[in-house]
Amino acid sequence: MVEIVSLLAASVVAVLLFSRLGLGSVLGYLAAGAFIGPAGFGLVNDADYMRHIGEFGVVFLLFLIGIEIKPQRLWVLRKLVFGLGGLQVTVSGLLIAALSYFAFGIARETALVIGFGLALSSTAFGVQILADQHQTTSHWGRTSFSILLFQDLAVVPLLILLPLLSFGEMRFSVSMGFALLQSVGIFISVLIAGRYAINPMLHAIAHSKNSDVFVATALLLVLGFAWIMELVGLSMAMGAFIAGVLLSESEYKQQIEADVMPFRGLLLGLFFMSVGMSFVPETVFDNLEVVIFGALALIAVKAFVIIILAKLWKTPLAIAVKCGFLLSQAGEFGFVLFTLGDSLGLLPEDMMETLIAVIVLSMVTTPLMVKVGELLAEWLKSPASDAMEVSEPVPERPVIVAGFGRVGEVIAGMLRKVDVSTIAIDMDAKKVAEGRRLGYNVLFGDASRPEILKSVGAGRARLVVVTLDNYKAAEGVVRTMKRHYPDVPLHVRVRDWPDADHFTELGASHAIPETVEASLRLGASALEAAGVGEEERRTLFEYLREGDYEKLRDYHKL
């Protein structure tokens, strides 16, 4: 119990502190692990056991990376992702490996582990900075994201490559090609088998309307594919990645992602804490010059390589500089690769502590590097770079319809008729399947969960229309939207006027009782049949609709 409380308390305090300082949660977890680990206060002594459990966090992380990789998105960015991103990983990895090999006289296998482990940048830092600055759709944002995306994809073959490197020098010459062929072959075979089994299973589970079983199914998919890959001698992370790719186009993607996210966060945090627990200050201080020189050399090499390669892709120099400085640090996957390399005997004794220190130091410099890159880019800015930044498309602003029953379907149909982008969300698998059959963009999920709303772009939505029959569910959507996206207008369907007043107090822009317009339509036909003229009818209806149906409320009170 002491260890559990220590882990939770240290992680909460450290992550909050480091996030406030703008250094990110990864460094917070590392610091928390070092603080309570054997080299710190000794509250947790079995770092290896914690690391084995934490490795499941890496499995869930690869699953979530896979689930975000849409074939259409890869196709649009294919030249940047596979061209620029592929060259960045290859050139940076080989260059850092060569420098390590000649500078320290280490084995070629060790140099390759170091080179490609440090060639990967921090997705957590890069994506977060782009999001905070609202630059994800800018030219330099898309270029940086494309490089990060390929780095994430490269983790899978790199995780396969390390065990092959551990076979020895005799197999080194064919190991990389064998790793690629093996990963492609297994990927295709499991892809074909899983494609025809996963969706039918999810349909059956979703129809049961049991949320606990659905969560268990999501975990089974991740861990099941991971286990299959381990059985055939490959990494669990690759199996989880394949499972994610198979679900990337599924209507159940958002709900599965939301269900898996908490497990990923907890277990990945535990993994980084276990890495911090293995931190030995004496080793780092004994090699302090190597750590500082290594971090500075790493930052310089990666920034230089990215700038040169981006220029070869006809990117303006100012934009190339911003990309290079943003991605100059080593990333969290370096911890994963070095941990695996250390367990396979590919790293000499005490080298892992030095490499961890290099990664941490390079991460700490990221905010400063971004600031310097922005200042340098401003000085180098040209009309070409300005034009490329301005020409970026504005992100689509959809209307989100929470609930795809009779009312939700009518509203979605009206919006589709006038070419307004619409995303509907419902927890009824039958309604989702029927809506998708009719060509609507309907997703399975609980619209009251912030993860679901975030995944469908609620922050940039024109408005959210809540048509759910369930009062508590509708209230949950409104409360979540007002808490996370208070500026997005909310239109809510309710049963009666007291409910309308309640939702208005919660922050809804409009809350319309479901009987109001039906009563007006029926009244219109009655007036017409009674011989009342069109102009008189129109005047009466305008009068009744004034002030948010204030006169109809008076009728209700009578």
Q: What are the boundaries of each domain within the chain?
A: 1-45, 48-388, 399-514
Q: What is the pLDDT of residue 48?
A: 67
- Count of other CB atoms within 10 angstroms of residue 92: 25
Dist. CA 336–CA 156, nearest whole Å:
11
Helical (H) or strand (E) element with 423 = strand 422-426
To the nearest 10°, the Cα dihedral for 439, 444, 446, 447?
-20
Task: State the amino acid at position 179 in one-letter form.
Answer: A
C-alpha to C-alpha distance for 454 and 443, rounded to whole angstroms: 13
Classified by CATH at the fold level, domain 399-514 comes out as Rossmann fold (3.40.50)
Complete DSSP assignment for 485-524: -TTS-EEEEESSHHHHHHHHHHT-SEEEETTHHHHHHHHH
Angle 321-323-328 from CA coordinates, rounded to 5°? 95
**What string of DSSP letters covers 228-283?**
HHHHTTS-HHHHHHHHHHHTTT-TTHHHHHHHHHHHHHHHHHHHHHHHHHT--HHH
Q: What are the φ and ψ backbone dihedral angles of 402, each rounded to 5 degrees? A: -90, 105
Tell me which amino acid residue 13 is. Answer: V
Q: What is the pLDDT of residue 400?
A: 93
Contacts of 443 (CB under 8 A, 6+ apart): 251, 253, 254, 255, 423, 424, 425, 426, 432, 456
- Each residue's pLDDT, cut to its tens digit, for the chain (558 residues) gives 677 787 778 878 887 887 777 666 777 877 888 787 777 777 777 766 776 677 777 778 778 777 776 666 666 777 888 889 999 999 999 999 999 888 888 888 889 999 999 999 887 677 767 766 767 667 888 888 888 878 877 877 887 788 777 665 444 445 555 655 665 666 566 667 666 777 778 878 887 777 788 888 888 888 888 887 777 656 676 677 778 877 877 778 888 888 888 877 777 777 778 777 766 677 667 778 888 888 899 999 999 999 999 999 888 888 899 999 999 988 878 877 888 888 888 888 778 888 888 888 887 787 788 888 888 888 877 655 444 454 444 457 889 999 998 888 989 999 988 888 899 999 888 888 888 888 899 988 888 888 888 888 888 899 999 998 888 889 999 999 999 999 999 999 888 778 888 888 888 888 888 777 777 778 878 887 888 888 887 888 777 777 666 666 665 554
Determine the pLDDT at residue 172.
44
- pLDDT on residue 385: 47
* CATH of 48-388 among 1.20.1530.20, 3.90.230.10, 3.30.2350.10, 3.40.50.1820: 1.20.1530.20
Token digits of residue 488: 């997005």
